Structure 1
Amino acid sequence: MPATFVVVPLWQGSVSARAMSHADGASAIQGDLPASTTIVVDVPTEAGESLGTGVARYSTIRRVRELAGAALDRVPDWAITIGGDCGAAVAAAAHAQQRSGGDVAVLWLDAHPDLNTAESSPSGGFGGMALRAIVGDGPEGLALDDATRVSPGRVVLGGVRAVDDEERRFIDEHGIVELTVDDLADPAAVVSAIEATGAERVFVHIDLDVLDPSALAGLSYPLPFGVGAPELAAALRAVAARFPLAGASIAGFAPSSPEAASDDLPTILRLVAALTSGAAAA
């Protein structure tokens, strides 16, 4: 079956000065998706409160997590979740695990590993804790439970270029595989790294800041020396050809204006097409 698109215009997990532009980015992408196979989550407008968790805007992020989970429960097959910030990936990963019986590797394509905790985060932004929540570590209502969490041994990081101390400790302690930007230009290397996890299916997360800023203007956290769009699309096609996709998410689009969004959308839609190019989904 074709993918269902679940649009989650979450901005509250970002602490960027352009945080609210993540909602605009999700809406811009939605405009080019097929309406008949798209579900839109109504994200509350209020920022929310931390409620002593150390997570900025926790109350709203938790509510959106519940709303996204309910939307994903309506998906008949597999889903591509469109954020918003990277916090939107957490419900998407849980859905992928549930429908695949837990046999999922996570390919996390991002300039940042998003492996901070509420205690270690320098900002309190949940977007920087999203993958840590997926492996089961985080505040109540955000971290995946024992039935859905992903083992760190089944995580493959790709294109990471900025790592905090706690993130480095966690990566090294668990032996998480890291693919460099150069590695991402070799589709065979990407496929091999996922194969080594032993998983039969894969969940792919793309924070668009994995791309070089020359490839996409609408980034809230642009970092130089990222992967090119053609190389990333080729890697995604190779992954989709080798593995059934259990799900995917795309996040981090923060255009400065509608006109700027229009300039970036062909690149983003190229990545969407690569994700949907496989013969089958999980």
Structure 2
Amino acid sequence: MKLSLILAPYDSGYRNAGCGQGPDAIVTGGLVEELTLHGHDVVTQDIGEVGATPGREIATGFAVATAVAQKAGEAVKDGRFPIVLAGNCLTTVGAIAGDGADSIVWADQHGDLNTPETTTSGFLDGMALSAALGQCWQAMAAAVPGFAALDPSRCLLVDARDLDATEKEILARLSILRAPCTDAPALAGKLAADGVLRTHLHLDLDVLDPDVLQANRYTWPGGPDPDRLQQAMTALAGQLPIVGVTVSAYDPAYDPQGDVPPVVGRLLVGVLETLEKKA
């Protein structure tokens, strides 16, 4: 398969800080070699310097999304499958704009469903899925080329186990599908039955059980181990028309042995192999 690896190494408005170090660490950890070994044609692109002022989280976050949308759109036109390696989850707003997704699987230990009116932390990434679903930051998101808000009924939220009270209320109000990782493939049929044509797969690596593998500082008990996550995502790929992937929120400072990059490689190989068999 022809692939485009798109690196967006930003975290909270800063380049190559915190989880912004993750994309390069995943590549350095052997991702390109792993994908090439399995027969894929890989092109790697960095979005470069974006945002006028470092540290302006909102402005830079949407500038990153815009750059990713452009790179992902170019990849699709080139016949390449876009894989975005991102520091922040908000970057997926750009990924779905670029690959034209009409549905999304959001695997994350968090709901990312707050809005500026409901957040108590002010953390922009805690609003990332809400932005993708058109629930907040509408003007900023609309400026991202190709962006169209996704219908909440076409969202499958996987293993969100660290939810605040407001997010639970939002989930009760919106028609988002929700399941733990092991049960997620059973709900994929509901998305497929809704006639979805293009599904984006978003993987925040803190979905993993931190007692097995810690990807960043935002840890919460529970979650799948790497094998179960791979099994679930591969099963989803067998049922849904996945057209792009985002892998986000890896901070190598919390992975001193470098265990996460090989896990990412194996997971992506499994998903891509399943997609190839369907083609």
Q: Give the TM-score category using the shorter length.
A: 0.7 to 0.9
In the alignment, which residue of structure 1 is the partner of 2:95?
92
In the alignment, which residue of structure 2 is the partner of 1:53?
none
In the alignment, which residue of structure 1 is the partner of 2:120?
122
154 and 145 in structure 1: CA distance in 2 versus 1, 3 angstrom threshold: farther
State the AA in 2 paired with 1:236. M
Distance 2:146 2:47 in 1: 26
State the AA in 2 paired with 1:237. T
5 Å-filtered alignment, 1:204-215, equals 204-215=201-212
Write out per-residue CA displacement over residues 34-57 of structure 1, whole angstroms, 9 at most, x where no aligned residue: 3951111124585433xxxxxxx2
In the alignment, which residue of structure 1 is the partner of 2:45?
39
In the alignment, which residue of structure 2 is the partner of 1:54?
none
Write out per-residue CA displacement over residues 217-273 of structure 1, whole angstroms, 9 at most, x where no aligned residue: 23221111111111111112122223331211111101217x726222111212221
Moved more, 219-228 or 63-72: 63-72
In the alignment, which residue of structure 1 is the partner of 2:131?
133
- Report the Cα offset of residue 161 of structure 1: 0.4
Match of 2:85 among 77, 82, 97: 82
State how many pairs are aligned. 262
Distance 2:278 2:246 in 1: 14
Match of 1:236 among 233, 237, 242: 233
Asked if 1:249 corresponds to 2:249, the answer is no
96 and 10 in structure 1: CA distance in 2 versus 1, 3 angstrom threshold: same
Q: Structure 2: 5+ residue runs without aligned partners?
A: 34-41
247 and 280 in structure 1: CA distance in 2 versus 1, 3 angstrom threshold: farther
What percent of counterpart residues are identical?
A: 27
Normalising to structure 1: TM-score of the pair?
0.83
Give the secondary structure class of the aligned counterpart of 2:2.
Answer: coil
5 Å-filtered alignment, 1:5-20, equals 5-12=5-12, 20=17
Match of 2:108 among 99, 107, 110: 110
Match of 1:28 among 11, 25, 29: 25
State the AA in 2 paired with 1:48. G
Distance 1:10 1:151 in 2: 27
155 and 3 in structure 1: CA distance in 2 versus 1, 3 angstrom threshold: same
State the AA in 2 paired with 1:85. N
Normalising to structure 2: TM-score of the pair?
0.83
